[in-house]
């Protein structure tokens, strides 16, 4: 999350408050921050969910890095996802879609860089599974990405809790996911 934010020169992202399910922001927060806060974790959540399937993990291991990943990952819910991010950031859906593709391409570049050129489907699945809890800490509840991706566990506020007990539970959950 933070590497993509830094590489694409977006403002620092804020973790979501587990109690309110909202980003702590004031009225002076620029629209650019609202866009990156919504788009980066939403795209990474989509890539995580896509990587849980064999076909998705296989597609992520090779091929053209500049594939239209937003269309591939979100498939028939792409327009709804773009609209949610556009609404959250008060920007036009057309501009949002293009910038989402840039974020997805950077994410795929980093995933391939981290997993290596000979990565297997299992390497991709394990890598994305390890990133899940970090991604969800930044995912705004207002986007309802879990509902969009048919996985309501993604919208569960327990994913945004931090602390010794929560961290232990997240690790146990990751073991069972693998």
Task: Tell me which of 26 and 105 has the higher pLDDT.
Answer: 105
Read off the pLDDT band of 152 (50, 70, 90): confident
Residue 162: left (phi > 0), alpha (psi -120 to 50), or beta?
A: beta
- Alpha-carbon Rg of the chain, whole angstroms? 15
- State which H helix or E strand residue 2 sits in: helix 2-7
- Paired tokens of 121: 């489907």
Neighbours of 31 (CB within 10 A): 11
| Digit-coded pLDDT (tens) for 70-126 | 999 999 999 999 999 999 888 888 889 999 999 999 999 999 999 998 999 999 999
- Paired tokens of 26: 């004031």
> What is the phi/psi pair of residue 59, to 5°?
-65, -30
pTM of the model: 0.83
């Amino acid at each position: 999350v933070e590497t993509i934010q830094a590489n694409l020169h977006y403002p620092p992202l804020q973790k979501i408050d587990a109690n309110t399910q909202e980003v702590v922001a004031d009225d002076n927060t620029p629209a650019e921050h609202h866009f990156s806060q919504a788009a980066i974790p939403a795209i990474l959540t989509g890539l995580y969910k896509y990587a849980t399937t064999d076909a998705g993990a296989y597609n992520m291991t090779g091929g053209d890095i500049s594939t239209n990943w937003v269309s591939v990952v979100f498939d028939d819910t792409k327009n709804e996802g773009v609209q949610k991010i556009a609404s959250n950031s008060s920007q036009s859906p057309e501009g949002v879609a293009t910038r989402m593709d840039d974020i997805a391409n950077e994410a795929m570049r980093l995933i391939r860089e981290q997993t290596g050129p000979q990565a297997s489907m299992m390497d991709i699945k394990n890598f994305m599974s390890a990133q899940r809890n970090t991604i969800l800490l930044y995912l705004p509840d207002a986007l309802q990405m879990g509902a969009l991706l048919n996985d309501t566990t993604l919208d569960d506020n327990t994913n945004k809790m931090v602390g010794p007990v929560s961290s232990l539970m997240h690790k146990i959950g990751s073991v069972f996911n693998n």
